[in-house]
Structure 1
Amino acid sequence: MMMNRGELSRHQLQGWVANRYYYQISIPLKDAALISQCPDRAVRRHWLHRLLDQDGRTGSEGGIEAWINLGEAVGLSRTELISERQVLPGVRFAVDAYVNLVRWGSWQDGVCASLTELFAPGIHRERLNSWPTHYPWVDPAGLAYFRSRLEVARQDGRHGLALVLDHCDTPASQDRAVRIVKFKLEVLWAMLDAMYLAYVVGMPPFFNVAGD
């Protein structure tokens, strides 16, 4: 909400982009883990495009490259972003927990966790509407990631929901689906909490430990 209201400083916006980069590069790992768990060929074939959407394919660099371009648009160098030096421990821990949920759980768990994508188009649209006004110093070309996700996220969300409705057909499996979505939301909140402490409250990790 602070971002959408234009209340973030340049440093804070850069911190958000740098930390969300770790989430972006982990999505293909999560999707590959889901595919490796799934015995259904049709599901695997359809889900594969999510991995390629992030990693890229011939003729399309993909979402990770688009996020790097966003990083450059807010003033981060490609080297700085890829180095992951700015990734907070809390963010790394939360994202890794998400990947491990899919890696060690069932493929249905991974699909359920993806349902937060149902909310993504509205979130991306809000960023496209607010950033040019509140952050005019950001190169508009860097917003391509948000534009590219409007329709892709809508389609992916519908597909994921259809799979959940099809496979979670007992009270027990439906209850687990709800708990998995709640877990994913907690992952996203944990990421925001870590960034809020570091960039808004001014309490980065190990702030009371002397060092360089």
Structure 2
Amino acid sequence: MTPMKEDYLKIIFELGGVKKKVSNKDISLGLGIAAGSVTEMITKLADEGLVSHEPYAGISLTPDGVKLAAELVRKHRLWETFLVDKLGYNVADVHPEAEVLEHQTSDRLAAALDTFLDHPTNCPHGGVIPSATGNYSDVSHRLLADGQDGEEVMIERFLDNHELLVYLHDLGLKLHDRVTIIKHEPFEGPVVVRKAGSDQDIMVSFKASHNIFINETK
């Protein structure tokens, strides 16, 4: 299993590919790669029995794909939590370190790390952390890009991407912020949002809006 294949399994997991079909376009935007490359890799993963691909319908993880993706996500996000909470890393900087560490982490070490961290359920950028048995709490898979104009939503989590996290920090958007979606600019333009209590519009790029997950405000 190559690191690139693992990245595909993790992004499909994050986009909701356990319970629904996800599109090539969303995978492409999530990984920041060309759509043609996505098609080629999905074919390889389907041949290995890790994903199911229905043309024009979308992509989902098979049971074997779910098991492997949950294990990879669990180890990666436990290390991210450790690096931020115990070593003081900036959230935007932990991904490459966690990528290296997850591949050297046995199930026993992951269990010890989980216990040491007091069994966290979410990583620093809001991603769910599966248990050792692959269970995890339900999360929203709605993207900011799919929100409706005029809707008030809460930012639930971000995809794990250094450039994205730096970009959102510069915009002043954080986890659990409540925002109103003002409008979607046409022709793959930005999504305009406004934070609760503010009168300033924030322009979130088309790509970033496909890397931000939202939930209904409570």
TM-score by length of 2: 0.26
Question: Between Structure 1 and Structure 2, which shows a larger proportion of helix residues?
Answer: 1
TM-score by length of 1: 0.27
Q: Quick one: higher RCO (CA 8 Å, sep 6+), 1 or 2? A: 1
Question: Between Structure 1 and Structure 2, which shows a larger proportion of strand residues?
Answer: 2
